[in-house]
Amino acid sequence: MFCGMNATYDVRGLSVLVMGGTTGLGLAAARALARQGARVVVTSRSEENVRAALAELGPEARGFAADAALPETAERAVALAVEAHGRLDALYHVAGGSGRKMGDGPLHEMTDAGLRHTLALNLESLMLSNRAAVRQFLRQGDGGCILNMGSVLGWSPSPEFFASHAYAAAKAGILGFSKAIASHYARDDIRVNVIAPALVETPMSRRAAGDEEILRFVAQKQPLDGGRAGVPEDVTGAALFLLSRAARYITGQVLAVDGGWTVSEGRVESSKLETRNSKSET
C-alpha cells in the first residue's frame, strides 16, 4: 500500500518558513522538511509550542512566538530565515483556525467580531506572510515558492455540519488570491500553490472529532482508507512535493488532499438510497 508520509522529495538545503509550524499540519510538515535536509523557521502564537518544536526540529531550526495576523510577524519571520540561513526559498502558510468561539457560523447568526476575527486569522495573516515572502524573493532575484493552506470548504461546502461561513469565505479568498499572485509573479519564477485538506485530526478539529454524527458523515464523505478523518501525515507528502524542487514547473494550482470529499455525496438518507436502488434494479 502506498504511504504518503514516507514520500521523499528534493528539499535539501532549502530555507523554508512554516507559519503555524508547531502543531498539527504545520508541525508534521516541519518535521518532514527538517528530516529531509531543509532548514526550517517556524512561528506560533504559543511560546511553549515553539520551544517544543525547536527541540524536536534540530539545531538549524529557528522560531518565535507571535500573532500571524500582525504585519510585523511575517516581516520578522522572513528576516529570521535570511539571518539564519542566508536566504528564503519557500513559505508554507498553515496558520489559521476556526472562528466559532468568536462568533463565526451560519450567516444569520454570525457576529461582527466573529467575521473580523475569522478573516484576520485565516485570510489577512496569509496575505501578510505572502507579501513578506514575495518581497524577499524579489530582492533575491532568483524566484521562490509559496504554498498556502486552503480547505475543501472554500468550494465544496457541508451545509449541515460545517456551516462556518466566514471561514468558508476566507478559504475561498485564499484560492482567488493565490491564483492572482501566481499569475502576476510567474515571470519572476515565484510559484504559488494551494493545498486543500478536508477534515483532518488537528487541535482545530476537536469539535468534529468528538461528534459521532459528524464522524458517520465523514465516513461517507471521505471514503478512502476505510472512511476516516485524515491525519496530518496524510497531507505531508503533498506539501513536501509542492515545496520541493520536483514541483518547480507547477504554479497556480489547488491540490485537494481530502480522502474523496470533493467527489463523494456524503450521507444519503436510507429512503432515498432504497428508491435509487429499486430503480436501478428495474
Q: What's the CA gap between 208 and 230, in Å, rounded?
A: 12
Rounded (5°) CA angle 27-30-32: 110
Catalytic status, residue 9: no
Pairing assessment for the beta strands 90-93 and 144-149 based on DSSP bridges: parallel
- Per annotation, catalytic residue among 92, 167, 185, 249: 167
d(CA 221, CA 188): 39
- In the numeric block, which cell numbers belong to residue 58? 534540530
C-beta separation of 154 from 171 below 8 A = yes
CA distances from 134 to 59, 93, 171, 196, 206 (A): 27, 13, 20, 21, 34
Task: For residues 165 and 178, give the distance between their C-alpha atoms in angstroms, rounded to a whole number.
Answer: 20
Output the CA–CA distances (angstroms, integers) from residue 222 to 58, 214, 229, in the order listed: 35, 11, 7
Whole-angstrom distance, CA of residue 116 vs CA of residue 103: 10
Eight-state DSSP code of residue 250: -
- Dihedral over Cα of 86, 91, 94, 95: its sign: positive
d(CA 15, CA 26): 15
One-letter identity of residue 246: A
* 3-state SS, residue 181: helix
CA nearest to 21, candidates 269, 238, 236, 270: 236
Residues designated as active site: 167
